[in-house]
Chains A and B, each alone.
Chain A
Amino acid sequence: MDNKGLTKVDLIFESVDVRKVMTKAFEMTSEEIIQEILESGLKGRGGAGFPTGLKWKYTAAEKDPEKYIVCNADEGEPGTFKDREILDKVASKVYAGMAIAGKAMGARKGYIYLRGEYRFLLPQLFVELHKFHKMINEIGYDFSIEYRMGSGAYICGEESALFESIEGFRGEPRNKPPYPTVSGLFSKPTSINNVETLVTAVMIIEKGPQEYVKLGTKDSRGSKVFSISGDTPIPGIFELELGMTVQEFVNEFGDGDTKAVQVGGASGFCVPRKKFAETIIGFEGVPTGGSMKLFNSSRSMYNVLHNYLDFFTEESCGQCTPCRVGCQQLLKGVEKVKKGEAKSTYLNELVKLADTMKVASKCGLGQSVGNAFRSIVENFREEIIY
């Protein structure tokens, strides 16, 4: 096992000379920028984990003169709050990542889609943005950024739903393909990246990919900002090297009585105590956009599951049947089993439904409901029934 233990890192919030990085990137060719990101092995930090260098490369390869870089700041996954902190503390690095991405793929315009819940940050973000625009103009960049706000819809964190929302429509995901790199915002080639991904790209350009690959494992390069909450004496935001096991994580952040860790939010996986030692946090084990929730033995996993299903039932956009009806039926189903109105074997039927949602749902929302459902029902069956 490629086990690295638990190491704290300071890349994302580290203060850097943004002008210097922007000047360095300005002197690089598009190919050189993309090559460095490819070599770093950086995968998207929003949760899905698509290689960032490839996304930029595909967008750069499109011939259309009009392209967009979109920053996904619609951080809605339960238990994730790192993007807010990044924008609050180092907004200029987010802007820098967008401008560098723009240069790499030939986009002159960037949009940041910020969730409505974070609107209070806007005045300060505008001040930073004004300074940033002035600075890159002096260097010679032909690039600008605009904010677009969300209005309380979790689904708009899904990339194509986010485009729909910016375009002024209901946030309903599109069919794929075509992928955003071919036809994204306003049907133009678009690279859409998470807040943290863009900042990480800036640090890779600053330090060079050789430095960056020293961190993490083969499948999960680098470090990651974790949002840690639940039953922990030290909740908060921590940047950690990738490659640790859940056990090592719990040793540092647990309260001594941790029975389960939900990795990746409501759409992620529940890891029970007996699997802490064997489970790696990263793409080779349990992937995460950063959400880590700890539960101790005083918590009912039925309540946890019920809360997640309630969340998905409300946040499903309702467009496709497997997700709209599936979420409702899973919620009603576990309620019935809990009340004794259905036999415990009914849970097996519900797991089948969750599996069907995984293959039949149109987007990541419906496809991921089964992750939490299956991992909680399989590991804490008795808590759901009794």
Chain B
Amino acid sequence: MYHTGNLVKELAEKHGRKRESLMPILQDIVKKYNYLTDESMVEVATELDISAAEVYGTASFYTFLDTQERGKNVIRVCKTITCSMKGKNDIISTIEDILKIRVGETTPDKMFTLLETNCIGWCHKAPAMLINDMPYTDLTPETVIDVIKGYMRK
């Protein structure tokens, strides 16, 4: 859980209070906190003067606008065909072993969430994954350990 404080107001000042401002505002909240709380969506609705159901309806349509609690680092491993052919399952099981969680879960310290995602556009360097916004490609079980450990030290 988090409290947005003045963030929603600041974002409304930055992006405007029109309906078209909704996506950029939600995206910026997710950028900062990695997911949307019910409270944050109600605040956005109040700020834009639309119903909270409209905000939730829009947010829940988009995979990257998570409405469930997520860790500080969201790992999304590509599961589409080329990554799947080139060893996606080994990458997933390696990450599951290091973080001691399964796909869809968040570590108890809220540092990592592990998810699968559809094609992220790195098929020529498969298997690939995103951690937050950053892509990691040509993964092997060895290199993925280094990447995750790097985030653990941050």
Contact = CB atoms under 8 A, between A and B. Distances in A.
A236 interface: yes
B17 to A, nearest CB: 11
Interface of B: 18-24, 26-27, 30, 57-58, 61-65, 79-82, 84-85, 117-126, 130, 133-135
Given A78-B81, A149-B23, A151-B23, A170 B124 contact: no
B24 A229 contact: no
Given A116-B64, A153-B63, 17 more contacts: A78-B118, A117-B120, A120-B134, A148-B24, A149-B27, A151-B63, A152-B63, A154-B118, A165-B23, A168-B18, A168-B22, A227-B123, A227-B124, A235-B124, A235-B125, A266-B80, A293-B82
A166 interface: yes
Interface in A277-317: 293, 299, 303-304, 307-308, 311, 314-315, 317
A323 B120 CA distance: 23
Interface of A: 75-81, 84, 115-120, 148-154, 165-172, 186, 227-231, 235-237, 266, 293, 299, 303-304, 307-308, 311, 314-315, 317
A149 B123 contact: no
Contacts of A117: 120-121, 130, 135
Contacts of B23: 148-149, 151, 165-166, 168
Given A118-B121, A167-B19, A229 B130 contact: no
Please provide the 9 A-B residue pairs with the shortest distance between their CB atoms, ordered closest to farther. A152-B63, A229-B123, A151-B62, A152-B64, A235-B124, A168-B22, A170-B61, A151-B64, A81-B121
B20 to A, nearest CB: 5
A230 B80 contact: no
A172 B62 CA distance: 11
B123 A81 contact: yes
B87 to A, nearest CB: 13
A236 B124 contact: yes
Contacts of B125: 235
A307 B123 contact: no
Given A148-B24, A168-B58, A80 B19 contact: no
A116 B134 CA distance: 11
23 contacts: A76-B119, A78-B81, A78-B118, A79-B82, A84-B121, A117-B120, A150-B62, A152-B63, A152-B117, A153-B62, A165-B23, A166-B20, A168-B58, A170-B58, A170-B61, A229-B82, A229-B124, A229-B126, A236-B124, A266-B80, A293-B123, A299-B85, A308-B81
